[in-house]
Amino acid sequence: MPKILLIAILLSLAGLLGSVEFTLDGEARTRAVMYYADASAEAGSHIDSKLWLGTNLSVNPDLKLRLNLQLGDVVWGATTGTQAGGAISAGIPISAYELYVDYRIRALGSNIRIGQQYWADHRSLMLDDSFSGVTFSTDDVLGMQSTLGWIKQVEGDRYLAGDDISSFLLSLQDKAWGVQAFYTVNEADSSNASQDIVTALPFLAWDLAPLNIDLTGILQYSSSPTSSDLDHGAAARISAKFEPVEIGLDALYYANEAPALNYSLSQYYLNKLYIFGIGQHFDGWVGWDPVNWYWGQSSAQDMYLAAVGYTKVALAKSLDLYAAGGLIHKTGWEANGGLEWNLDNFQLAAYGAYGQHDGHTQASYLIGTTLKAWFY
């Protein structure tokens, strides 16, 4: 009898797996960089690697599951620190950045997604990250796509109320315009108990080929039992493409009267800089020493203005030359450039950056290569 039962269970599992559709996607990245960080007055270099591996399971047309693992993000030879695991006989760390169930509610034209998931606002000004929570997306609300979400950022003591951080998001967007808003309740900071933050990001996006214009407004109100702050700003990106040349300008302004009250879920504003920002091939960290200027950090000025001009030229079918230069008010300047070799599911980039921080006598530099390979 036990053998018959075991066979029945195995046959049931085989039948279930036979009805489930599997697809895989992933991206591998290895980069080698040399740098000098003016903030720490130290030169360094390292090679690091990581692999994202995603698994998609379709149980039926309406029920889907996704698991996205990150394997590595280790420095070759490192035995200590946050990027350890690249040494001899060292294990590669594995992290899950997506782990959710997605269910299609056909009667409402909507999807509900529960678990660890990824979401980004229009310009990555407030959120561009994975998080644990629930989102409810609808195909058509007054002709617009909508998303409602609850984000559990920090779970404090599970047996103690009032020490968590939670955010709620609302997104309404069409092809040419939209608005995204966040409401955050921060009860985790004992020095600023029950801080409430409301952020609104209305935007306009016009595709007037060969011209592209993208304008985003920033309005953030923060309050606590002892203080309040209302800040505003704007981000603009204008680009034009005349084969084989693309040119553009990216600007960000933010009035930052009380830096300690500013708030961003994930400070990941993409501005095409490497030393003073987050670029495509290097994320703005010089070793483990950040020199980022993104808005929301506690060291930000009471007002700042940044402008970055950039260009890309197609030298051949698979070879591009790119360059960018930026000036950040009361912070510094940077110039960078490089080459990209693009093939099917493969990219090799070589790049360099040089920048001067206003608060340091010596400049920073970065020289690196990044290799990416992906499949979908």
Q: Using an 8 Å Cβ cutoff, are 133 and 149 in contact?
A: yes
308 contact partners, CB below 8 Å, separation of at least 6: 249, 250, 251, 271, 272, 273, 277, 324, 325, 326
pTM: 0.85
Phi/psi at 245 (nearest 5 deg)? -115, 135
Q: Using an 8 Å Cβ cutoff, are 350 and 34 in contact?
A: no
Query: Which pLDDT score is estimated for 279?
Result: 79
Query: Which pLDDT score is estimated for 186?
Result: 84
For every one of its 376 residues, what pLDDT tens digit does the chain have, with 9 covering 90 and above?
A: 555 655 555 545 455 556 788 899 999 999 998 887 766 667 778 888 889 999 999 989 999 999 999 988 888 887 776 667 777 777 788 889 999 999 999 999 999 999 999 999 999 888 998 999 999 999 988 889 999 999 998 887 777 766 788 999 999 999 899 999 999 988 876 554 678 899 999 999 999 999 999 999 999 998 888 888 888 899 999 999 999 999 999 998 888 766 655 677 776 667 788 887 777 887 755 444 443 333 333 344 566 788 999 999 999 989 999 999 998 887 788 999 999 999 999 999 999 999 888 777 778 888 999 999 999 8
Query: Which pLDDT score is estimated for 296?
Result: 35
Query: Which pLDDT score is estimated for 286?
Result: 41
d(CA 328, CA 359): 12
d(CA 100, CA 110): 16
Query: Which pLDDT score is estimated for 293?
Result: 35
The three-class DSSP label of residue 314 is strand
d(CA 7, CA 338): 60
The structure tokens 């990216």 sit at: 250
DSSP secondary structure string, 234-262? EEEEEEEEETTEEEEEEEEEEE-S-GGG-
Q: Using an 8 Å Cβ cutoff, are 29 and 370 in contact?
A: yes
DSSP secondary structure string, 14-37? HHHHHT-EEEEEEEEEEEEEEEEE
d(CA 86, CA 32): 14
Closest CA to 124 of 188, 176, 201: 201
